[in-house]
């Protein structure tokens, strides 16, 4: 079978990545210069890390380190290149507490960010909230594991229809233990509450393009140069403004990673058990069905279906759980 031909853009990206990696036999590393740093931005041949004294430095990458992600802790050493100039080289990646990934080109697993303490799931009143997308993000948070916070942005656009949507979402997710924060950049609503929620941990903002992730970061960090885009009038969806994850320091020892907008985020579930674990309300009924192999569809004695009927489990959440399981089984 003929090999698939790479596009010019893919060829340039591969060449750039190879150029950025230094062959081991060409290195003259100074082991006495070893220091720990954290990756604050990584895109193609551009990798920037921050040392323990908050110095930002550009780095090359040693071969065979695998995929690196914003938030990774790495070991750096000084090295001399062919012209005798000194450069910083990433020689090792320290063990991660967790890694958030998504599916990339041709279904490949692509790292988004590492060592995350909290997922901030940003939705908005324009484009309208997508509960299924929110639930998919929540499964990732639970399995990292990381704390999850839900932000409903652009509440200055509230009307009778969107007010009910926001209230229903708030009631649903607060009842199962998640913090929900209303925000508006235009009316300066919820910015202080969000800032407080970001203290003392590393957070990543995730959500569709156009929901206002970068605008929220800009409101919290007005001195940072953060690109902000508009929502498309024709599609109602956001235009991508953040093209690479970047790490920023906040007051209260908080760190935030601003990630590229994702129009269709698919969590990488290794098993149906992970999906069940990702639904905090559904997993309470796991193992309580009459049959051990219950699919929770048509079998008698299903504890989950009984919980929905009795009002102990939200029907929308249960249907989203079944939908995610079905998609997993199809794969």
| Residue-wise pLDDT tens digits, 217-246 | 889 988 775 544 443 333 333 343 445 667
Average pLDDT value for residue range 55-71: 89
Q: How far is CA 171 from CA 14, 42, 181, in A?
A: 47, 38, 12
Per-residue pLDDT tens digits for 304-318: 999 999 999 999 999
How many C-beta atoms surround the C-beta of residue 271 within 10 A?
Answer: 9
Q: How much is the pLDDT for 122?
A: 93
Per-residue model confidence as pLDDT tens digits over 238-259: 343 445 667 889 988 999 987 6
Whole-model pTM: value is: 0.82
CB 178 within 8 A of CB 148: yes
| pLDDT digits 0-9 by tens, 80-132 | 776 777 889 999 999 999 998 887 777 778 888 899 999 999 999 988 899 99
- Residue-range domains of the chain with CATH: 26-93 (2.40.50.140), 99-258 (3.40.50.300), 272-330 (1.10.40.50)
Close Cβ partners of 58 (under 8 Å, ≥ 6 residues apart): 46, 47, 48, 88
pLDDT confidence of residue 242: 44
d(CA 246, CA 260): 9
Q: Tokens in use for 208?
A: 């569709």
Q: Where are the alpha helices (DSSP H) in the chain?
A: 8-20, 131-143, 160-175, 191-197, 213-220, 272-278, 303-310, 315-330
């Amino acid at each position: 079978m003929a090999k698939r031909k790479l596009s010019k853009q893919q060829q340039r990206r591969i060449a750039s990545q190879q150029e950025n990696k230094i062959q081991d036999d060409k290195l003259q590393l100074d082991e006495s210069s070893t220091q720990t740093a954290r990756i604050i931005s990584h895109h193609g041949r551009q990798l920037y890390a921050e040392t323990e004294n908050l110095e930002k430095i550009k780095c090359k990458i040693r071969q065979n380190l695998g995929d690196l992600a914003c938030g990774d802790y790495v070991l750096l050493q000084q090295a001399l290149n062919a012209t005798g100039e000194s450069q910083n080289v990433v020689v090792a990646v320290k063990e991660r507490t967790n890694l958030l990934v998504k599916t990339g080109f041709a279904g490949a697993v692509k790292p988004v960010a590492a060592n995350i303490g909290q997922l901030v799931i940003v939705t908005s009143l324009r484009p309208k909230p997508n509960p299924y997308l929110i639930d998919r993000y929540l499964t990732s948070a639970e399995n990292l594991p990381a704390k999850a916070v839900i932000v409903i942005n652009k509440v200055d656009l509230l009307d009778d229809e969107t007010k009910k949507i926001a209230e229903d979402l708030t009631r649903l997710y607060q009842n199962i233990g998640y913090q929900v924060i209303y925000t508006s950049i235009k009316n300066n609503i919820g910015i202080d509450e969000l800032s407080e929620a970001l203290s003392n941990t590393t957070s990543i903002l995730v959500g569709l393009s156009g929901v206002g992730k970068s605008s929220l970061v800009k409101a919290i960090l007005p001195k940072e140069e953060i690109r902000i885009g508009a929502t498309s009038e024709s599609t109602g969806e956001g235009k991508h403004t953040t093209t690479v994850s970047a790490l920023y320091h906040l007051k209260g020892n908080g760190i935030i990673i601003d990630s590229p907008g994702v129009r269709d985020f698919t969590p990488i579930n290794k098993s149906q058990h992970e999906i069940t674990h990702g639904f905090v309300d559904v997993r309470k009924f796991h193992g309580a069905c009459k049959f051990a192999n219950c699919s929770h569809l048509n079998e008698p004695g299903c504890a989950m279906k009984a919980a929905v009927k009795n009002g102990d489990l939200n029907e929308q959440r249960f249907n989203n759980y079944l939908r995610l399981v079905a998609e997993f089984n199809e794969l």
